Amino acid sequence: REKVEMTKEQRALMKAIVDAYNRHQIPQDVAKKLLQEQYSAEENFLLLTEMATSQVQVLVEFTKNIPGFLSLDREDQIALLKGSTVEAMFLRSAQVFSRKMPNGHTVVLEERIRKSGIPDEFMTPMFNFYKSIGELHMVQEEQAILTAITILMPDRPYVKDHQAVERLQETMLNVLRKLCVLQHPQEQQYFARLLGRLTELRTLSHYHAEMLTSWKMNDHKFTPLLCEIWDVQ
Ligand SMILES: O=C(Nc1ccccc1)[C@H](C1CCCCC1)n1c(-c2ccc(Cl)cc2)nc2cc(F)c(F)cc21
């Protein structure tokens, strides 16, 4: 088979994306906190709203490092961010959940999340997604570029210049395709399987508003930012 090589530009682009991705370490905090103790549904809801609020800010910073993003139409930039924050949060949650942890920690983490206040009917689709991401054993470069691809989805609502977004996404897809061949040479269809998870991610993200509004507690308070981003209240 032909030798797959990344161009200098592709390697530079990948490095920029991975550095930006790694600069933000919220996920460790949330997993660490959850492993410390079982919180009440109210405390977990508050933790989620805090985590999600800071995750949006982190996502804005990350997105600024995607080459070409800031040259997009300003309103399209907002539409892409608004349309992808929930998916990015679930993708990040899946990556946190499937991170290699000391024995028994993943079991405890799953238990704590199962009792966090999220309605039971969402547990199966959510953990199926987390485990399907885990099975891929993505390297951090793949995780970072997959997040960039999720943000650069041309078919988000209200995006005007589809073509411009498609061009940026295509650049990322080309890098990811080569990366998958280089990182997983034995698995012919690894790249296709990886992209297939984005479909599962979108389906899971459809549930998020209901997951939040039916969180097992009364009086769900959202920050103004989350009302804007999460289609709640
Ligand atoms: O904070 C979170 N995820 C987050 C991560 C990264 C950045 C921002 C947010 C929340 C917790 C969940 C338990 C209560 C406290 C918040 N979280 C979720 C999750 C997110 C949104 C909805 Cl609607 C449902 C579940 N899945 C998780 C998997 C993990 F391994 C995990 F560790 C935390 C996880």
First to last CA, the chain: 54
Helices (H) and strands (E) in the chain, counts: 11, 0
Q: How confident is the model at residue 198 (pLDDT cuts 50, 70, 90)?
A: very high
Distances in Å between the Cα of 207 and the Cα atoms of 86, 89, 191 are 10, 13, 26
Residue nearest to atom 13 of ligand 1 (CA): 113
Task: Tell whether ligand 1 has an atom less than 6 A from the beta carbon of residue 31.
Answer: yes
Q: Is there an atom of ligand 1 within 6 Å of 85 CB?
A: no
pTM as predicted: 0.95
Which is the closest atom of ligand 1 to the Cα of 112?
A: 13
CB-ligand 1 contact for 211 (6 Å cutoff): yes
What are the C-alpha distances in Å from 130 to residues 16, 28, 55, 118? 26, 16, 18, 15
For residue 34, the ligand 1 atom closest to its alpha carbon is: 32
Could you give the CA distance from residue 153 to residue 168 in angstroms, rounded to a whole number? 9
Rounded to the nearest angstrom, the distance between the alpha carbon of 48 and the centre of ligand 1 is 6
What is the C-alpha to C-alpha distance for residues 174 and 190, in angstroms, rounded to an integer?
14
Testing ligand 1's pocket by substitution, the residue of 51, 106, 109 carrying the most ligand atoms inside 8 A of its CB is 51
Please write the tens of the pLDDT for every residue from 38-57: 999 999 999 999 899 889 98
Evaluate: CB of 116 within 6 angstroms of ligand 1: yes
Whole-number Å distance, alpha carbon 125 to ligand 1 midpoint, is 14
pLDDT digits (tens, 9 = 90+) for 69-127: 999 999 999 999 999 999 999 999 999 999 888 889 999 999 999 999 999 999 999 99
DSSP 186-232: T-TTHHHHHHHHHHHHHHHHHTHHHHHHTSSSSS----HHHHHHHT-
ipTM at complex level: 0.98
The minimum-distance atom of ligand 1 relative to the CA of 118 is 24
**Stretch among 2-6, 43-47, 198-202 having the lowest mean pLDDT:** 2-6
